Amino acid sequence: MKKLLIGIALIGLLLAVGCVSPEVKDDTLGVVPSDEGQFTTGIIYTDDAGMPYLEGGFGIKGSDVTFDGVYAGYTATIPVTLVNGQDKDRLFWLSTRIPSKVTDGYEPIPFAYLDWIVIPQPGANLAVGEVYQVPVTLTIPKGLELDGERYEARVLVENTDQAGLVQIAVEMKWYIIVR
């Protein structure tokens, strides 16, 4: 019974990590647009005050990222910040997925476009208390005919060391707005 209550409390904590917080533009994130200055393209990173305390579990910084005004040939890299607040070293795995439920005004990213999001090093082995950044790149191929689409995708972070019936993961929402 105690394990069940701890599991429910942990799920509640992880859900709180993904809570909506105000959108802020953060120029310190290492965002690297490929043709900086050529087009006005905004990247809005939702800063997350809901990071877990180091004893609180695992989490990510930034629950939402909005790429506003992207175009064919656009490339930008966003660091996904992982935190291991658990009691031992953990292996985390990042992957992309198509959301089953999307925010109003968006459509799920088509399967054929899911490879726009590239995670070159999807596995990260973190020590207790370690904070680590994994670069994730959005690349829209040149020559693609796009016009005003609004896609939503997910970057999923899983703790691969979990056992049992309940497996907990956290995810980032990526909003891709084509100009």
Q: Which is higher by pLDDT, 155 or 22?
A: 155
Helix (H), strand (E) at residue 168: none
Distance CA 159, CA 113 (A): 26
Contacts of 145 (CB under 8 A, 6+ apart): 72
Instruction: Please give the residue range of the domain that contains residue 108.
Output: 2-178
Which of 18-27, 57-66, 120-129, 138-147 is the least confident region?
A: 18-27
- pLDDT value of position 32: 41
Instruction: Tell me the average pLDDT across 149-161.
Output: 89
CATH number of the domain enclosing 69:
2.60.40.10
pTM of model > 0.75: no
Q: Which is higher by pLDDT, 173 or 18?
A: 173
Count structural domains, the chain: 1
Q: Which is higher by pLDDT, 145 or 159?
A: 145
Residue whose entry in the numeric block shows the structure tokens 């305390």 = 53
